[in-house]
Each structure stands twice: as C-alpha cells, then as structure tokens.
Structure 1
Amino acid sequence: MTPEAFNAGEPVPVTSAGGTVTLVEGSTFCLSGTNGDIQPGTSQGLFFRDARLVSRWELRLDGQSPHPLSVISPEAFAAQFVLRRNPKPGQADSTLLLVRERLVGDGLRETITLRNLGRENTVATLTLHVDADFSDLFAVKEGRPAHGGADATVAGSELLLRDRSDGSRGLSVSATADPLAAPGVLNWRVVVPARGEWSTEIVVQPTVGNRRVRPQFDRGEEVEASGPARKIRAWRDVSTMIAADDPVLTQVLQRTESDLGALQIHDSSQDGRPFVAAGAPWFMTLFGRDSLLTAWMALPLDVGLALGTLETLAELQGKRVDPLTEEEPGRILHELRLGPDSDQVLGGSHYYGTVDASPLFVMLLAECWRWGAGETAVRALLPAADAALEWLERYGDRDGDGFVEYRRATDRGLLNQGWKDSFDGINDAAGRLATTPIALCEVQGYAYAAWLARAELADAFNDPATSARCRERAERLRERFAEAFWLPEQGWYAVALDGRKQPLDALTSNTAHCLWSGIATDEHAAVLIERLSRPEMDSGYGLRTLSSAMGAYNPMSYHNGSVWPHDTAIAVAGLLRYAHLPGAVDLAQRLATGLLDAAASFGGRLPELFCGFSRSEFSPPIPYPTSCSPQAWASAAPLLLVRSFLGLEPHVPQHRLVVRPHLPGQWGRVRLSDLRLGELTVHVEADHEVAKVRGLPEGWDLRLAG
C-alpha cells in the first residue's frame, strides 16, 4: 500500500452533541464527553506519548449512563464531572449525586464519589467498562481503523491490557473499594448510607518498554499536592503576574497562564529543560514553528521557556540530507513524534518539512538576548543560529534569487511548509493553487528579521565583519522583496511567488506578518493598513486568513477565510510597529477587541481557530469543528496583545526599557508585576497612553512615550 502524504488526512471532529472536555498535562491528554465517558469508535481517549492508550472508559450507574449536571475544570489537567442518578419513572428529582474527579499526568487518576442526599440507605451498582487500542495519534486523528487492539486479563482486582502488536506496551487499571474484576470491566455493588457517601479511586498506569511509568500523582493525594499542581505553581512563581481592570482580559490571561503551564513538557534528560507542546489534542509534541512563536509571545512571563525551546531545537537541528524526513544541515525541526506509526508516517520520529522555523529560531535567540537571557546561554546557541542562516542560503534559496522557497522532497512530505500548511492553503485571487517551489511573503520577512537579529548579536559580541555581512544581506532582501512582492494596483503584498516566479495575488493575513517582521516600507505599509481594515479582512472577531473577496474564500475552511488568534495577534503586533501611520492603532485596537470578545464566548480560552463569518452574520463566533484547544500559540496570543499595546521593548544588555502604550480604552489599567529582565525585577503599569515603571535602577535608559 502506498503511504499517504504526511499529516494529509482530514482530522475527525472531537466534539459530540454534548461537547468535549480536554485535560492536558505535558505529553498526556484526555478527551472525553461532558459526562466523563470515553466512547469507543470516536476520537476520544487517554493519550500518552503520541499514542492512545484508553479507547473506552464508560461508567454505568444501575446499568444506565448517569445524568450530567456540570463540568468544573479549574486547571487544564484536572476536572470534576458532576452527575446524578437518573430519576425514577414519574419523578423529576434524584437523591444520588455522582462526582468523577479526574487528574492526568503520565497516567490518569479518577476518584468516583457517590453521595446519598436522601433519608434512606440506597443500593447502587457501578460498572466501569475499559478498553485500549494503542493506536497511533495520526490514526486516531484521521479516523483510520484502530491498531491491533489489546488483550485484557485480570490479576486479582487489577485489569491488565497489553498491546497485541507490541507486547512491551500496555496499561494497568487498579481501584480501591474491592471491585469485582473481569476482563475489561470493574464492578461495585454498594450500599450508600442516608446522608452519607462512598468512594473509590481508580488509577491508570501506562507500561512502556515492559516498564510501568510512574504517574505524577500518588494514591489518596490531594490534587493540590500532585505533580501537575506543583508544576503549575512553580511556573506561576517564576512568571510575571499580569492583571487588568477589564475582567474579560483578566480571565483570558489567567487561562493563558494555566494552559501554557500545562502544555509545557520538561526534558528529564536535560535537568527538566522546558519547551511547550503545540496543542491538544493532535499536537502534544515539540513543533518548531509553533513552539518558537509561542515562546516569543510568552517572553513577558518567562524567558526560560524560550531558552529551553531554543536549546531543545538546537540539539535536534538537521545534520544530514535525508529526503524521507526532509532533514538538511542546519534546518530546524518541524515536529517530533513518539507514536507507534512514526516510522511509517514520518520516516522516523523527526520530521523537518518547515520553511519558517529556521529564521524564527534566529529571531527568537536575539529577542531572548534583549529580554535578559544570560550571555553564556546565548553564545552557546550562536553556532545553531549560524547553521540555520546557512540553511536559508544553501537549501532555502536553491535557485539563488535571494528568496527562501520550499518544495517537498518526496510525495510523503507536507505540500505546503509555511504556517498555512494545508494542501489548499496557498492560492491566488481566483482560487488557483500555487505550484512549487513557493516563496511565501511572511517567510521573506522572517528571513529579513533573522539577518538583522544575527547582526545585532554580532555587534554585541564584537564581530563587526559578521554584522556587516548580515545587515547587507537583510537590506538586499528588503529591496528585492519590495520589487517582487508588492502589487501596486491591489495595494498589498503577494502572498507568495510561485514556481514560475509569478506573484500570487490573493489578499491574505500573511501580509500582516510583513508588518510584524519590519520588512514592509512605510509607503507600502500605509496602503496595506487601509486594505486590512476593510470588512473583507476584518471579521469583527479578528483578521481573516483570506479576504472574503477572494476566489478560495470559505469561512469554514482551515486556512482560507477562518480566524486564527495567533495570526490576528501577530497582525496587531505588526500594526503597532507602524503605529506612526494613520489607521494602524485604530485597526489594532479593533482587531484585539474582537478577538477578546471571541475569547469570552469560548469561556476565556481562545481555540486554535474559529470560523470567519462576519460578526454581523453570526454572534458569538462559530467554532471550527476540529480546532485544537488548548493550543499553545492561541493560548499565548493574549500575551502578545498586551506586550504590543504596552509598546514594551526591553534591551537588558544595553540597559534600556521602552514603554509606548496604546491601550484600548476598555482595558483600563494593565499591570505587570515582578517582570524579570535578566537579574532585575520591575513593575510596569499603564493606562491608555500613560505608563509608570518601578524598580529600574539608576543608569538605565527609560523611555516612556505615548
């Protein structure tokens, strides 16, 4: 059988009629219904290291599904499912409450409590049906047939399930309160006293390589004392505290902090070095582009996350040419996978098919330097940055025209290798798909910023020759970009040059990234801002990925008219970079307000994307059915909004801090407490266009401007 192109299958929806609850902690996540059940035959499950372990987890009370009342999820890794016994025929009320308290972290723990609110003892029968299929994440994502399945056995009161295809993998399910165990089933028959309660604690423990994985929790341990809770507290202890008068912004920022903490994976082989996974459910792994951009956005919270991401990606940087994985010397990784089908799908656990991660790596390294990362750590990463720039020149620009292009190495690779990586994500105004090799407009901007970033680092480390070469390379690229990409009749940059070096004339959100990177001239930016402000691009809830006037526009598509929060946040950051131009601040404030209104409608958590229908047509916004949530760069997007509207630009090595606020009026005051800039801790407060800074020592250049 000929293998399909990597990641080419359409994701199956994870939502059901009753909705989906996602819990995540590092490389563990769980998808279930709002009653807590994992239904077989769906994409739900307990996942660990890119494979689904539990494919069925259904609880029955007296032979029936309990009636769900509420789900409470104070943190991304824990939830309480509150249910009741179905009322007796002819009655409206029930006197038996059932609470499922779930915690994930290298396994799963569920405490089931029955509370009798009646005045008589009650008899209850609880049955838990469990199964496993050990399917690869890709197979589950695309709805392909299940893996070989599991052999179920019983050892006393413990259920054991082992992968039929790989006997070294499995899981155990153990419980308190003396269940009666049979293959795939735990059963309890209990008497719950009047006004009393009964409970059992169930633990799912993975087995990998014939060794049981130790969960991040102990039996009987309070959630607050568990490993995931300790990890999130440690993250909060080192993170800047951000608060605002606006309750919506405050709620969104609180969810951002919780989700980014839960999405972090700590490399145990490197003293717990952190990096952030791209998002649940399908991308709980290291992604070059996603992890780098998320780390950039999260710099106001913690520079350490960005350094950990850079160091991890530097270790995995390409060393050789391998068409199957698209590895090339100096190329930064696209994604890392650990699932059982990785070799078949990716040609290995590493896949390198991305055109933008390499310049983003160099950009982030310089930004870490500005935000106070230690000189030793930055110097140690310079060889990786130089290798990434060499990749841009040698492999990224194969035809020597000065632009960075991509073309997949085999028919198994990603067809499109920018952030819009769906097969139809790049097209012209008529909707015709691009032919490769493709030079994306935003990637040229990233490359421009990367060359300038390396020049700045060269200046800092007394390397004038490298600085001059990189600045000359950046300026030449900027000039060539303006000539080849600007479409004067339309008033925007071409989304790309196709294989014939012809501009693709669709109006897309990609052009706003050219504002963020600074490659746009003021003359072009002034016109572009006006084009982006039109209702064809501004949905009312954020910037559309593709103008509604274009041939391929579909507000329910993945990349051709939807709204991606991280994309809108980058657009806002780009607009505020050109705040001196007419309309830039107004559009930035309008886009940010719409995006936060969307966040409020999604319970304070921005999803990966949502449909791009006009606000006047549908309000609140329409969810995209296979959107990831929580998703790293969507979760981090509000941080970029806050940083951009504050005009917060630190440069620790030069002892300079710039704050140029343009806060939306409804935000009121915004406060950053315990903002760490190298060895310093400062406090920043702003209201509209006025800012105050405390804690900055003498000798620093503080620039406050409206």
Structure 2
Amino acid sequence: MTDLKVQSVDETPDASPDQFAVISQSSLQERRPRVLKHGDTFGVFDRNGDILSGEGNPDGLFHRDTRHLSHLDLLINGTHPILLSSTLRDDNAVLTCDLTNPDLPDDAGRLFLEHDVIHIRRSKFLWRAAGYERLLVRNFGDRPQHLTLELRFEADFADLFEVRGMRRQRRGTFYPAEVGTGSVTLSYRGLDDETRITRLRFDPPPTRLESRRAVFDVDVRPGQRAVIFVEIHCDGDLPQRRPREHYLLSMVEARRRARQSSSRATLINTSNEIFNEALRRSLSDLYMLVTDTREGPYPYAGTPWFSTAFGRDALITAYQTLWMDPALAQGVLGFLAANQAQIEDPAADAEPGKILHEVRYGEMAELGEVPFRRYYGSVDSTPLFVMLAGAYLERTNDVQTLEKLWPHIEAALHWQKIFGDRDGDGFLEYGRRTTEGLVNQGWKDSHDSIFHADGSMARGPIALCEVQGYAFAAKQAASRIARSLGRVDQAIVLETEAEALRQQFDDAFWCEDLGTYALALDGEKRPCRVRSSNAGHALFTGIARPERAAQLAETLMNSASFSGFGVRTIASAEARYNPMSYHNGSVWPHDNALIALGLARYGFKQEAARIFEGLFHASVYIDLRRLPELFCGFPRRRGQGPTLYPVACAPQAWAAATPFSLVQACLGMDFDPATKAVRLNRPVLPDFLDELVLRNVVLGECRLDLAVQRAGREVAAHVLSRTGDVKVVITN
C-alpha cells in the first residue's frame, strides 16, 4: 500500500473569498459583547444584557449550533434603560448589568420621573441548556412609582452558519407560538425534520403575555424593590420548580461547577496586579470553554463562531496547558480517539486514522449544506494528536492510558504514511477531496494564506512548513510511547524515520538568503519563499537543525516580523502582507505562544520573554484583559494598544491558554515523573514581573507551591510547601 496516491478534486485555491468565512459588517471588538457558555449552549449579549437582532449581528442564545433566541430587549415605560455598568464575574459564571431609567415623560409630554431614580440589576447565567435571568428593580426616589417593564423576544432558529453570513434558499416551518399563563413556547421544524424548541417562562406571570413580548406592571414604593425571574430553555422540558426557586438552585450549581472545573489547575500569582487580572480571566475563559464529554473535559474552540469540538484547537490548547492540568489533555485524546476516522469518505475529507477537524450539530450540517457535521479536513490534527499523546506520557507517566490509545496512535501513523503523504515524497501534504471542503487545511486556512514570493497562490497538494515539524515530533513521540510499551523495534524505526525527515526538511525548506524556512512547498515542490510565523513552529517541534536556530530567531524577532506586540503571521515586506487580514500579517496569541516555546527550547529565553512582554502589554488595552483570537499586525506605538480585528472570537481557548504557556516557556518548566522532579531550565522573568508564585503544581500524587523571584540579573526559585517527595531542579 505504500504507493497509494490520494487524489484531490481541487488543488488550486480559489481567489474568491472563503466560502465559510465570517461576514464582517460590524466589529465585535467595538461592541464589546458579553459572552456566557455552559456545555453546548452559549449566549452573546450586548453590555445592557440585551440580545439585539439585525443583519450581521451575532447576538443570541445558541444551543448546538442553532440560535434559539435572536432578540431579547428590556424597556422601561417604552424606552431602553441607561447603562451604568456591565460586569462578568471573575469566574465567568454570572453576567451583571446595572441600568437606570432615563428621563421619562407622561402622556402629555411632561417629565414625571427624572433620570437615575430607578435602579435595575440584571443577573444572567447559563446552566444545562437554559438561560436564567433575574431582574431586580429598586426605587431610590422619595415617592411610589408605577412602572411598565417590557421584555420583547424572538427566535429565528437560524443555523450558526447563517448567522455567520451564509445564505440559504429554503428554510423550514415556524409554528405559531403557544402562549400560556406564564410561559411561551416557540418552535421550528427544520428541513432535516428536527423540531427545535425555545420555552420562555416568567415569575411572576406577566400582566400581559403575547407571542413576542411580556409586559409587567410594577409598583415600587420608596426604598423597596420588585423582582422578576426569566428562564429560557433550549429543547428541554420546563422544570417543576418555580423560576425563582430554580434560579437560585441553578446559580449555586453553576458557580460550584465553575470552581470545581478549574480547581485541578495550577494557580499563578505574580507581583504585577494587571497581569494577575489577565491570568484570572484567562483561567476562567479556558474552563468556561471546557465541555464535559463522555471521554473527559474538552475545550471548545471559541465563541461565537467556533463553540464546538475542533481537533487542532483542542490539541494545541491541551498542549499549552499540559503542565498545569494534564486532565485536559487526557480528555482531548480520549474524545479524538473515539471520533477517529475509520473509513474513506471524500465528502467529509475523511480517511482511516485521520483525526477530526470539526463537529457541527445544526440543521445545515445535518443536511450537508456545510460539510462540517463530522469533518476531517485538517492536515495537522493527526500528527498533533500523536505529539500530544507523547507529551502527556512524559508529563504523567500514565502508561495505562497510552495502552488504550496505542491502536489509535498506530492508525494515525498509518494515515501519515499512506494518506497524508499524497505523492510518496516523505512530506505531509493536503488537498481537499470535496469541492465543499476547506481549500487550505493547515491552521492558516484562509483561501489566500499560502502563496509564493510574488503573491501568486500556491497550487497543491501543499506541504506546509509547520506540518512537517508536527510529523517529525509525532514520530519522536510515538517512538517514546512504543518504548514505554515494550515495542522497542517499532521505536527504533520511528526514531530513524524522524531523523531522516529532519534532514529532508532542512534540504527542501531552508532558505539561506531569507534566514528562515519556506512557508510551504507547492505541488511541484517549489518552495513558497515567504517569511512567516509558520517557521517558528519548526523551533517548537524541534525539527529545526541547531545551526539554523540563531538565524531563524533573528528573522522572527526583527521589525518586519515582530510588531512589538507579537510575531506577525506574515512579515511586513511580503507580497500579501496586510496587517488587517486574518492570516497574512495579523498577530495570533497562540501562534506566538508556540513560537516562544520553540525559542526557549533552543535557548533563546530573552526572545521568548520579549514575546511574553509584548502580549502582556497588548492585554492591558483590551476589554476584560482578554486576549482575543487575533489582532491586527500594525506596529506597536508608544502609549497605545493593538488594533483589534473586527470579528475575532473572544474568548478563544488557545488564546486563553497563551499566558500559561508563556509562563512555561520563560521558566523552562518540564516534569520527570520517574524521579519526581520538576525542572526549571534556565528560568527568566520578563521585565514586567519581579516575582511569580505557582500553587498546586501536581506531579503524580505529589504537590508543591513554588516561588520564582528576580535576584539581580538572575532568577531564583524556592519551594513554599510540598506534599510528597517531589523535588525542584534548577539548571542554568
């Protein structure tokens, strides 16, 4: 079977816009939406706590890729209240919006209520496929007030890809609303014959309840308050308890779950309080995005566009956080093994042994209007799966889990050899097998992201720079796993193959005059001589030859590539450079985190610290200190933050994980379960940190708290407490 060639139906990227791109008609970053998530449900609200409908607006309550509520706004006496503040709890469990009344006229136009007399506090959270809200109305005036509060609501049951901008020729059937005493049921039967239901319930029952609005007449005496509870259930039955009782019990459970899910992780506290805020938000974002599956915890990629299981994103996120919470890696490996492709299915870009790219549950995926119901169109998920398995073994020495995973690892290696290497030249290439699939199938999957020095599109099958590094690291990881399982002969073969690939990669990809590795090889094996961040992954994976490292590090960190906030995806002198593009000049935090790990691996700790410092200073200027999926690659200006990308996801799992992998990179932290040692290899601290404290560092049954402090030009570490005979080893 070694001479099998896999044919692709379309090896020339289309010059037209991506068929699955997010349509940008407004800026998410300008609106600064508030996001909640639990399980397969997430909500996008404006800062008032409203869901505003309109063309291109991503607001809504979404469940399993369907928008179950497309409009929800609050009126007081027919007008929108004034925003005072909008705050997410540090653990992301509850959104609180404080509002007040504007000047309110009577029917004759005379002012009857001055502004800032009525305080309205909206508290919202999600739990088990439902949204919960409490409206607390308080009168701070000196006389009684009769108020009319109105909630207007609507459910368009739009598929997430429709919300992203895709047009459909046909829709299913909307049923008439069912209006009860204190509840309304909205339902839609899709073309896939699935009925999707939204149930709204109110306590107390509204004064008037209609198919699209609930009106409450509220009398509030001076200093007194009134309370209204709202529930919005997606596809589920209404609970037996009254909403006010159910709200409190569900909130307690939601907050307990938020605490429990992050309690496994190592906690970090530093001498810089602004960075501490960023760390707390990152930790909360990460564990909000984690969804519990049958195989274990799994980080969904990000909201609003990617709140589902992605292979590549979860594998990289789990790798970034492996040092602080190995359970995430175990859950990701288990889920992806359970969903590994078993057969060839060109419509899903699936081949035996291939690891998942994406899962979708919406109507359009079920009907095949988009190919993502269970889609395998990524060239890098499969080697990343093997890489993570090897790193998980090194971190935990959990041989039992690796025994279970071994058949899946062998299947992944077989895919690399037979299906991944499309022309038998030893490199992994991609070319989609369906015209509906993704044109580019690396992490830079825009239609125009792989090109030659003159700007012309590369024709496939395409061998990406970073993917060869992943393949190399996968072979090395599989070799280590094989040895641990007593498969010595297999381990030796894999080691030999890895070393051969390293030499072959250097021969084919290194561009001496550019001081970097080529972005890719096209279908004719011509190198795409473009300076890109992809080459930094050659350091991350270890495929870069040591003698190339210094020159590559200099290229990555010079002003053409490094914006001051991070390494650009494409250097500023390249033909298709555009700092406002998705992949051709922007800055991606996770990309920089992997580059920093690579720089640290080859001894360039100060360069890794510069990346750390740049991303920290970017976060200072961003709402909630939350690193987004990406931001624009314009040069850093004194006293100014980064230019934000309009439709970047936030929170995004691998962006949320970035500060933690930057900490690991600068500390040079790794683990040796056999000797119960935590190692710090030539630790450094970036300039904005003088001290860093790690609590609950876990190694097997052992735990320790560790402080790292600047001591002149050196960094010192000492153990604050420990459980078990774990030790800390520092090398300089």
**What is the deviation of 1:161?**
0.2
Q: Which residue of 1 aligns with 2:310?
A: 287
Greater length-normalized contact order (CA 8 Å, ≥ 6 residues apart): 2
Match of 2:223 among 188, 192, 195: 195
Residue 635 (structure 1) aligned with residue 661 (structure 2):
no
Q: Which residue of 1 aligns with 2:205?
A: 178
Q: Which residue of 2 aligns with 1:39?
A: 52
Question: Does the Cα contact within 8 Å between 1:429 and 1:507 map onto a contact in 2?
Answer: no
**What is the deviation of 1:373?**
5.2
Structure 1 residue identity aligned to 2:476: L
Question: Does the Cα contact within 8 Å between 1:98 and 1:113 map onto a contact in 2?
Answer: yes
Residues 544 and 163 of structure 1: is their aligned pair in 2 closer, same or farther, counting only changes over 3 Å?
A: same
Match of 1:83 among 84, 93, 99: 99
**What is the deviation of 1:248?**
2.5
Residue 56 (structure 1) aligned with residue 71 (structure 2):
yes
Q: Quick one: distance in 2 between partners of 1:438 and 1:314?
A: 26
Q: Quick one: distance in 2 between partners of 1:520 and 1:585?
A: 17
**What is the deviation of 1:225?**
4.5
Q: Quick one: distance in 2 between partners of 1:457 and 1:342?
A: 37
Q: Quick one: distance in 2 between partners of 1:76 and 1:14?
A: 22
Other structure's SS at 1:695 match:
strand
Q: Quick one: distance in 2 between partners of 1:668 and 1:315?
A: 44
Q: Which residue of 2 aligns with 1:657?
A: 678
Q: Which residue of 2 aligns with 1:326?
A: 349
Q: Quick one: distance in 2 between partners of 1:488 and 1:259?
A: 41
Residue 95 (structure 1) aligned with residue 117 (structure 2):
yes
Q: Quick one: distance in 1 between partners of 2:408 and 2:701?
A: 26
- Please give the per-residue CA displacement for 1:198-248, whole angstroms capped at 9, x wherever unaligned: 11000001116xx56999x98454488533212111123222121111223
- Please give the per-residue CA displacement for 1:311-346, whole angstroms capped at 9, x wherever unaligned: 000000010000000111000000111111113234
Q: Which residue of 1 aligns with 2:643?
A: 622
Match of 2:690 among 642, 652, 668: 668
Q: Quick one: distance in 1 between partners of 2:197 and 2:436?
A: 30
Q: Quick one: distance in 2 between partners of 1:133 and 1:163?
A: 8
Other structure's SS at 2:696 match:
strand
Q: Which residue of 1 aligns with 2:11?
A: none
Other structure's SS at 2:455 match:
coil
Residues 421 and 108 of structure 1: is their aligned pair in 2 closer, same or farther, counting only changes over 3 Å?
A: same
Match of 2:699 among 677, 700, 706: 677
Q: How many residues align?
A: 692
Other structure's SS at 1:503 match:
coil
Q: Which residue of 1 aligns with 2:289?
A: 263
Query: More deviation in 58-67 or 645-654?
Result: 645-654
Other structure's SS at 2:470 match:
helix
Match of 1:513 among 523, 532, 537: 537
Question: Does the Cα contact within 8 Å between 2:676 and 2:699 map onto a contact in 1?
Answer: no
Residue 590 (structure 1) aligned with residue 648 (structure 2):
no
Residues 465 and 236 of structure 1: is their aligned pair in 2 closer, same or farther, counting only changes over 3 Å?
A: same
**What is the deviation of 1:286?**
0.8
Match of 1:162 among 174, 181, 187: 187
Q: Quick one: distance in 2 between partners of 1:174 and 1:393?
A: 56
Q: Quick one: distance in 1 between partners of 2:240 and 2:637?
A: 51
Q: Quick one: distance in 2 between partners of 1:705 and 1:218?
A: 58
Question: Does the Cα contact within 8 Å between 1:295 and 1:309 map onto a contact in 2?
Answer: yes
Match of 1:70 among 77, 80, 85: 85
Match of 1:565 among 589, 593, 596: 589
Q: Which residue of 2 aligns with 1:130?
A: 153
Q: Quick one: distance in 1 between partners of 2:702 and 2:349?
A: 42
**What is the deviation of 1:92?**
7.0
Match of 2:467 among 435, 443, 451: 443
Q: Quick one: distance in 2 between partners of 1:471 and 1:387?
A: 18
Question: Does the Cα contact within 8 Å between 1:228 and 1:262 map onto a contact in 2?
Answer: no
Q: Quick one: distance in 2 between partners of 1:470 and 1:13?
A: 50
Q: Quick one: distance in 2 between partners of 1:515 and 1:349?
A: 34
Q: Which residue of 2 aligns with 1:151?
A: 176
Write the mapping of 1:281-430 to structure 2, written as runs, cut at 5 A. Answer: 281-343=304-366, 344-347=368-371, 349-372=373-396, 374-430=398-454
Structure 2 residue identity aligned to 1:87: D
Structure 1 residue identity aligned to 2:134: T
Question: Does the Cα contact within 8 Å between 2:179 and 2:211 map onto a contact in 1?
Answer: yes
**What is the deviation of 1:451?**
0.5
**TM norm structure 2:** 0.91
Residues 479 and 701 of structure 1: is their aligned pair in 2 closer, same or farther, counting only changes over 3 Å?
A: farther
**What is the deviation of 1:253?**
1.3
Question: Does the Cα contact within 8 Å between 1:206 and 1:212 map onto a contact in 2?
Answer: no
Structure 1 residue identity aligned to 2:618: A
Structure 2 residue identity aligned to 1:116: N
**What is the deviation of 1:687?**
2.0
Other structure's SS at 2:350 match:
coil
Query: More deviation in 499-508 or 228-237?
Result: 228-237
Other structure's SS at 1:456 match:
helix
**What is the deviation of 1:295?**
0.8
Structure 1 residue identity aligned to 2:327: G
Unaligned runs of 5+ in 1: none
**What is the deviation of 1:674?**
1.4
Q: Which residue of 2 aligns with 1:705?
A: 731
Residues 243 and 121 of structure 1: is their aligned pair in 2 closer, same or farther, counting only changes over 3 Å?
A: same
Match of 2:255 among 229, 240, 248: 229
Question: Does the Cα contact within 8 Å between 1:22 and 1:31 map onto a contact in 2?
Answer: yes
**What is the deviation of 1:14?**
5.8
Q: Which residue of 2 aligns with 1:30?
A: 43
- Please give the per-residue CA displacement for 1:84-128, whole angstroms capped at 9, x wherever unaligned: 111247897420111111111211011111110001001110111
Structure 2 residue identity aligned to 1:178: P
**TM norm structure 1:** 0.94
Query: More deviation in 80-89 or 538-547?
Result: 80-89
RMSD: 2.2
Residues 9 and 247 of structure 1: is their aligned pair in 2 closer, same or farther, counting only changes over 3 Å?
A: closer
Residues 420 and 172 of structure 1: is their aligned pair in 2 closer, same or farther, counting only changes over 3 Å?
A: same
Question: Does the Cα contact within 8 Å between 2:395 and 2:673 map onto a contact in 1?
Answer: yes
Residue 533 (structure 1) aligned with residue 557 (structure 2):
yes
Other structure's SS at 2:674 match:
helix
**What is the deviation of 1:7?**
2.5
- Please give the per-residue CA displacement for 1:46-82, whole angstroms capped at 9, x wherever unaligned: 0011111001111111001111111011132421111
Unaligned runs of 5+ in 2: 1-16, 106-110
Query: More deviation in 4-13 or 246-255?
Result: 4-13
Question: Does the Cα contact within 8 Å between 1:151 and 1:164 map onto a contact in 2?
Answer: no
Query: More deviation in 8-17 or 24-33?
Result: 8-17
Query: More deviation in 61-70 or 629-638?
Result: 61-70
Q: Quick one: distance in 2 between partners of 1:353 and 1:205?
A: 34
Question: Does the Cα contact within 8 Å between 1:355 and 1:443 map onto a contact in 2?
Answer: yes
Q: Which residue of 2 aligns with 1:453?
A: 477
Other structure's SS at 1:404 match:
coil
Give the % identical residues.
Answer: 36
Q: Quick one: distance in 1 between partners of 2:341 and 2:435?
A: 20
Residue 601 (structure 1) aligned with residue 616 (structure 2):
no
Q: Quick one: distance in 2 between partners of 1:652 and 1:487?
A: 40
Question: Does the Cα contact within 8 Å between 2:229 and 2:244 map onto a contact in 1?
Answer: no
Q: Which residue of 2 aligns with 1:555?
A: 579
Q: Which residue of 2 aligns with 1:648?
A: 669
Question: Does the Cα contact within 8 Å between 1:14 and 1:44 map onto a contact in 2?
Answer: no
Other structure's SS at 1:662 match:
coil
